[in-house]
Amino acid sequence: MIAFSNLIQQLDSTNKTNDKVQALCAYFQNTPHQDTLWTIALLSHRRPSRPITTTLMREWAAEVAGLPLWLFEESYHIVGDLAETIALVVPESQIQHKDPPALSDIMEEIIALKGQQEATKKKYIIDQWQSLNALQRFTFNKLLTGGFRIGISQKLMTRALAQALDMEENHIAHRLMGQWTPQTTTFDQLLRNPNPEDLLSKPYPFCLAHALQEAPQKLGNTTDWIVENKWDGMRGQLIIRKNKWYCWSRGEELISDKFPEFEAFLSLPDGTVLDGEILPFKNGKIQNFALLQKRIGRKNISAKLLKDAPVIFMIYDLLEWQGTDLRGQPTRQRRELLEEMFAQYKNSALPWQLSQALPSTSWEAITVERQKATEKHSEGLMLKKASAPYGVGRKKGDWWKWKSDPLTIDAVLTYAMRGHGRRTNLYTDYTFGLWQGDVLVTFAKAYSGLTDEEFRKVDAFVKKNTQDRFGPVRQVTPQLVFEIAFEGIAPSTRHKSGVAVRFPRILRWRHDKKIEDANTVDDLKALLVP
């Protein structure tokens, strides 16, 4: 616990990647295996489920600190982080642990807490708060609530681990995949001597794309690139090995039970691994993403749901074929094999399609394809370097996503909240409205897209033009107009405007527009794709 807290502090106090990797590496080298295992689990989002609600944590913290709950809540909104707020308000105790428990012990205690009486939980948690110092208290709270947000990607952690253990980064990345927990495996089983049976179900690390920022012409010759649509569904990896099949999400969750129709893929030969996108597909056509969300959200997949929201697997890469790992081969060769395989099994009536390579004779031709993307229910294009192997994680330069231009609309700033993390103290979380008659109807919230300088200006505006306060939310005088960009749009009964938009963000501050010039709800509805 001491070492882990210190590690968190070290990682948190630098934004230099090398320093982070070094700190992690040193930690891994000097930490007992059981704690290392837990650290890997925590930094790769394998946190055990929360034994208590954050509401209870807030109440208990206010009680221990002798504060009215509203004052604790206000403090939390200003600090922007619950674990930290609790760590700061709980008074420093005289009876601190001489020797706080090991990370793995704490984690086991937290897991054992689940299912206990509330009074037992309360006693345990308050005891911990009072016996740890502020830094450890913060860490302990993070262990309870999750999400360290210290700028450690899985890739960085893997790199540090590879250095510490003197192993290949790629091997480590593969072994860390899948659904393990420190309770179901050991350090040696996971990393040093994996059981071949365990490896059977393990997905390969996903290759991820970077957004293309500059002109595509800078990528050089179009013939060096394979161009595909960027499908608007859920990334998946389908594994067929030893007469069993597994479907993994990009978040490394086993999602096979959500998609029972993929069992049909068992007709493919043993040792096949496909990379692709799960898409809602009905009446011979790709459907809106919203339909897929129905499937993802449900625990039980009923026959009716299977009928109402059918899916297909849109394949675009072949990672393993006949038991051979193809990831080291160039993309062009993998694609040839993929197309051959698809042709060979075309008549097997599998719920799949092949993501076609699009004509790429010139950047002009590719640009035309990008414009056609929306009508195909695609978000834009993927550009994959023909000569590159299948990379691990977000390696720059091999895969680019070149999204279609977003939809945009001009909206009025109506409410603001303080931001989180580094933006706490500044009003950076905004709500935007569109006109319906002479009323501004909320249509989206957005947190990103302005420069720090602009955020400071809007923050000053919010503070000077507050009309009303609802807890942490300030209603502001309608005066500022922003151009809001978003990816997708779908009808919704849950939103006041009757429309739900995906990934809304601020494109620019329209200093040139008055609030009367902002768009209407009807303008927004006109953007709906039939």
Partner 1 sequence: MEFTSKGIYCRLADVYLDPWRPVKKALISHGHADHARWGHQNYITQQDNVPILKHRLGAISITGVPYGATFVINNVKFSFHPSGHVLGAAQIRVEHLGEVWVFTGDFKIKSDGITPPFEPVRCHTFITECTFGIPVFNWPNPQHVHDQINQWWATNKNQRKTSLLIGYSLGKAQRLLHYLDPNIGTIYTHNAVGKMSQVMEDKIKFPKYSILTPETTKKDLAGCLVLAPPAAAEGAWLKKLGPYSSGFASGWMLTRGARRRRAIDQSFVLSDHADWPGLLAAVEATQCQNVITTHGYTDIFAQYLREKGWNARTEKTDYEGEVLETDKETAL
Q: Does 88 bind partner 1 (CB under 8 A)?
A: yes
- Shortest gap between Cβ of 19 and partner 1 (angstroms)? 10
For 202-320, where are the alpha helices, taking DSSP H only?
A: 289-297, 303-308
* Residue of 274, 266, 155, 151 lying closest to 203 (CA atoms): 274
- Shortest gap between Cβ of 70 and partner 1 (angstroms)? 8
- Shortest gap between Cβ of 67 and partner 1 (angstroms)? 6
Question: Using CB under 8 A, which residues numbered 451 to 490 contact partner 1?
Answer: 456
What is the distance between the alpha carbons of residues 223 and 245, in angstroms, rounded to a whole number?
A: 35
* Residue of 136, 80, 56, 92 lying closest to 427 (CA atoms): 80
Distance of CA 359 to the CA centre of its chain: 32
CB 413 within 8 A of CB 385: no
- Shortest gap between Cβ of 75 and partner 1 (angstroms)? 5
Q: Does 79 bind partner 1 (CB under 8 A)?
A: yes
**Applying CB under 8 A, which of residues 54, 80, 146, 282 lies at the interface with partner 1?**
80
Site map (CB under 8 A) of partner 1, residues 338-377, x = contact? ----------------------------------------
Distance of CA 417 to the CA centre of its chain: 23
Question: Using CB under 8 A, which residues numbered 490 to 509 contact partner 1?
Answer: none
Q: Which among 76-84, 247-255, 322-330, 403-411 is the span making contact with partner 1, rule CB under 8 A?
A: 76-84
- Under 8 Å CB-to-CB from 315, ≥6 apart: which residues? 274, 275, 276, 338, 342, 352, 353, 354, 355
- Under 8 Å CB-to-CB from 457, ≥6 apart: which residues? none
- Shortest gap between Cβ of 58 and partner 1 (angstroms)? 13
Q: Does 393 bind partner 1 (CB under 8 A)?
A: no
- Shortest gap between Cβ of 421 and partner 1 (angstroms)? 6
CB 427 within 8 A of CB 416: yes
**Applying CB under 8 A, which of residues 2, 56, 67, 354 lies at the interface with partner 1?**
67
Nearer to partner 1, 116 or 133 (CB): 133
Angle at 47 between CA 41 and CA 50, to 5 degrees: 165
Q: Which two tokens stand for residue 215?
A: 């002109």
Nearer to partner 1, 332 or 423 (CB): 423
**Applying CB under 8 A, which of residues 38, 72, 289, 400 lies at the interface with partner 1?**
72
CB 158 within 8 A of CB 172: yes
Nearer to partner 1, 206 or 430 (CB): 430
Measure CA of the first residue to CA of the last residue in the chain; give whole Å.
56
CB 411 within 8 A of CB 340: no
- Shortest gap between Cβ of 179 and partner 1 (angstroms)? 31
Q: Does 59 bind partner 1 (CB under 8 A)?
A: no
- Count residues near partner 1 (CB under 8 A): 28
The sign of the CA dihedral 90, 96, 101, 103 is positive
**Applying CB under 8 A, which of residues 30, 69, 78, 529 lies at the interface with partner 1?**
78
- Shortest gap between Cβ of 24 and partner 1 (angstroms)? 18
Q: Which among 11-19, 153-161, 167-175, 344-352 is the span making contact with partner 1, rule CB under 8 A?
A: 11-19
Q: Does 71 bind partner 1 (CB under 8 A)?
A: yes
- Under 8 Å CB-to-CB from 66, ≥6 apart: which residues? none
Site map (CB under 8 A) of partner 1, residues 222-261, x = contact? ----------------------------------------
Q: Which two tokens stand for residue 141?
A: 């709270």
What is the distance between the alpha carbons of residues 307 and 342, in angstroms, rounded to a whole number?
A: 25
Q: Does 6 bind partner 1 (CB under 8 A)?
A: no
- Shortest gap between Cβ of 77 and partner 1 (angstroms)? 10
Distance of CA 401 to the CA centre of its chain: 17
Lateral strand order in the sheet of 225-231? 210-211, 399-403, 378-385, 225-231
CB 476 within 8 A of CB 466: yes
Q: Does 81 bind partner 1 (CB under 8 A)?
A: yes
Nearer to partner 1, 14 or 22 (CB): 14
- Shortest gap between Cβ of 103 and partner 1 (angstroms)? 20
Q: Which two tokens stand for residue 8?
A: 């968190």
What is the distance between the alpha carbons of residues 3 and 16, in angstroms, rounded to a whole number?
A: 20
**Applying CB under 8 A, which of residues 37, 89, 386, 458 lies at the interface with partner 1?**
89
Q: What kind and span of H or E run contains 401?
A: strand 399-403
**Applying CB under 8 A, which of residues 18, 49, 55, 68 lies at the interface with partner 1?**
68
Site map (CB under 8 A) of partner 1, residues 409-428, x = contact? -----------xxxxxx---
- Shortest gap between Cβ of 456 and partner 1 (angstroms)? 7
CB 278 within 8 A of CB 313: yes
Q: Which among 37-45, 75-83, 300-308, 474-482 is the span making contact with partner 1, rule CB under 8 A?
A: 75-83
Decide: residue 473, CB within 10 A, 0-12 exposed, 13-18 middle, 19+ buried. middle
User: Would you call 328 helix, strand, or coil by DSSP?
Assistant: coil
State residue 524 phi and psi, 5-degree precision: -65, -45
- Shortest gap between Cβ of 410 and partner 1 (angstroms)? 29
**Applying CB under 8 A, which of residues 12, 169, 261, 483 lies at the interface with partner 1?**
12
Q: Does 84 bind partner 1 (CB under 8 A)?
A: yes
Q: Does 15 bind partner 1 (CB under 8 A)?
A: yes
Site residues (vs partner 1, CB under 8 A): 12-15, 65, 67-68, 70-72, 74-75, 78-81, 84-85, 88-89, 92, 420-425, 456
